């Protein structure tokens, strides 16, 4: 299908659903989906945003601004993943527990507002990745219109640009719990350290980045083309000192740079099928 055909199909899918509540994080996918849903359904489209310690305040503020820009009504809920049995222990299928909790709460909001369907922003590219959260979505019958309309991430960015959405070139983002090696316990204090470190690095002008939390060690991943920004002794000292103030003992730069799902590199095929 051409991009124009995919876009037409997406609008038809959403129109047939009649009323929708979208799990809205303010990321590239959910922002695009919310924009199209609002254009098609108007007041029968609702954006639901969950606040938690795994969701940075910076992202939350952006999500509120984006909802206002689109015009869609936004409902904010609280979903504290660290309180969920099985989540804080950080097993390989950690995202299953998180998404099950999230979609259950979005479903409750949908029912309260007389809305028929819960939507998420999964797209065609997500199918080939390790995404335990998709199992939770399937169990709770969450609809994924972007995937059903065969939108890839590049497609979403392209149409987002045409629609004037500021997220069209927004760097990929995943919740802060993805910064921890599987098996390392996640708690609010550790999440706060990661959030502070990433906010600091973004304020320095870095765009695509992750601060992976390995106990006392902070492993910084940045986009390959941004690695050269660290090649200054003064800059390295400044960054190291700041992250030590935040609570890390050792500060490292991953020489391979940022890559999606780097924490999955240690998983066996069997673990990824859980």
175 is known as an active-site residue: yes
Q: Which of 46, 47, 63, 175 is catalytic?
A: 175
CA distance 131 to 62: 25
Q: Are 181 and 266 in contact (CB under 8 A)?
A: yes
Residues in CB range of 200: below 8 A, 6 or more apart = 242, 243, 246
CA distance 103 to 9: 24
Q: Are 125 and 152 in contact (CB under 8 A)?
A: yes
Which residues are catalytic, by number?
175
């Amino acid at each position: 299908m051409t991009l124009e055909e995919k876009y037409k199909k997406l609008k038809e899918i959403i129109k047939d659903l009649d009323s929708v509540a979208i799990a809205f994080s303010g990321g590239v996918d959910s922002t695009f989906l919310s924009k199209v849903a609002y254009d098609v359904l108007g007041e029968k489209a609702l954006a639901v945003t969950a606040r938690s310690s795994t969701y940075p305040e910076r992202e939350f503020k952006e999500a509120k601004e984006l909802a206002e820009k689109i015009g869609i009504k936004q409902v904010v809920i609280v979903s504290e993943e660290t309180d969920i049995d099985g989540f804080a222990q950080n097993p390989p299928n950690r995202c299953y527990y998180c998404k099950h909790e999230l979609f259950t709460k979005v479903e409750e909001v949908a029912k309260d507002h007389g809305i028929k369907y819960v939507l998420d922003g999964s797209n065609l590219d997500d199918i080939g990745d390790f995404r335990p959260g998709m199992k939770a979505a399937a169990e709770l019958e969450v609809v994924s219109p972007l995937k059903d309309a065969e939108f890839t991430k590049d497609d979403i960015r392209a149409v987002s640009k045409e629609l004037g959405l500021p997220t069209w070139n927004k760097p990929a983002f995943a919740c802060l719990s993805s910064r921890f090696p599987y098996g390392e316990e996640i708690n609010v204090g550790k999440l706060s350290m990661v959030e502070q470190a990433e906010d600091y690095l973004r304020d320095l002008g870095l765009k695509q980045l992750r601060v992976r939390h390995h106990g006392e060690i902070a492993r910084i991943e940045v986009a390959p083309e941004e690695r050269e920004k660290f090649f200054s002794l003064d800059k390295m000292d400044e960054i190291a000192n700041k992250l030590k103030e935040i609570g890390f003992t050792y500060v490292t730069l991953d020489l391979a740079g940022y890559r999606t799902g780097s924490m999955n590199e240690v998983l066996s095929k069997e673990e990824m099928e859980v």
